[in-house]
Homo-oligomer: A and B are copies of this chain.
Amino acid sequence: MSDVGVTVKKNEDFSEWYTQVILKSGLADYAPVKGCMILREDAIAMWEKIQAIVNRKIQATGHRNVYFPMFIPEGFLKKEAEHFEGFTPEVAWVTQGGNTPLEEKLAVRPTSETIMYATFAKWIRSWRDLPLKINQWCNIVRWETKATKLFLRTREFLWQEGHTAHATKEEAEAEVKYALQEYQDIMENYLAIPVVVGVKSDSEKFAGADYTTALEAMMPDGKALQMGTSHNLGQHFAHVFDIKYIGEDEKEHKVWQTSWGITTRTIGALIMIHGDDKGLVLPPKIAPTQVVVVPIPYKGAEPAEIAAKAKEIADKLREAGLSVILDDRQEYTPGWKFNQWELKGIPVRIEIGPRDLKQQQVTIARRDIKQKSFIKENEAVAAVEKLLEEIQNDLYAKAKANLEQLTAAVKTYNEFKQVMAGKGGFAKAAWCGNADCEAKIKEETGATIRVIPFKKEEPQTGCIYCGQKAKDVAYFARSY
Contact = CB atoms under 8 A, between A and B. Distances in A.
A94 B97 contact: no
B33 A71 contact: yes
Given A32-B76, A91-B98, A45 B69 contact: no
A58 B44 CA distance: 15
Interface in A86-129: 88-99, 105-106, 108, 115, 118-119, 122-123, 128
Contact of A69 (B36, B40, B41, B73): B36
Interface string A319-356: 00000000000010000000000000000000000000
A62 to B, nearest CB: 11
A95 B98 contact: no
A37 interface: yes
A156 B69 CA distance: 7
Q: Which 9 A-B pairs have the closest CB atoms?
A: A36-B69, A97-B143, A39-B67, A41-B64, A93-B96, A44-B65, A31-B69, A32-B118, A95-B95
A72 interface: yes
Contacts of A33: 69, 71-73, 106, 115
A106 B33 CA distance: 9
Residue of A38, A118, A139, A145 with most partner-chain B CB within 10 A: A38
A76 to B, nearest CB: 7
Contacts of A67: 38-39, 43-44, 158
Contact of A73 (B32, B37, B91, B96): B32
Given A37-B69, A93-B94, 18 more contacts: A32-B73, A32-B76, A32-B119, A33-B73, A33-B106, A36-B69, A38-B67, A38-B68, A38-B119, A39-B66, A40-B66, A41-B64, A44-B66, A44-B67, A89-B99, A90-B98, A93-B95, A93-B97
Contacts of A31: 68-69, 115, 119
Specify how many copies of this chain sit in the oligomer: 2
Nearest to A41: B64
Contact of A38 (B69, B72, B97): B69
A80 interface: no
Contacts of A106: 33, 92
Contact of A94 (B29, B88, B89, B108): B108
Contacts of A408: none
B99 A92 contact: no
A331 B248 CA distance: 12
A71 B40 contact: no
A145 B33 CA distance: 28
A138 interface: yes
Nearest to A37: B69
A448 to B, nearest CB: 22
Residue of A73, A106, A122, A138 with most partner-chain B CB within 10 A: A106
A51 B118 CA distance: 29
Contacts of A72: 33
Interface string A49-92: 00000000000000011111111110010000000000011111
9 contacts: A32-B119, A33-B115, A41-B134, A67-B158, A71-B92, A71-B156, A88-B98, A93-B96, A98-B145
A48 interface: yes
Interface string A207-226: 00000000000000000000
Interface in A137-166: 138-139, 141, 143, 145, 155-156, 158
Nearest to A136: B44
B128 A331 contact: yes
A67 B43 CA distance: 9
A68 B38 CA distance: 5
Interface string A425-444: 00000000000000000000
A30 to B, nearest CB: 9
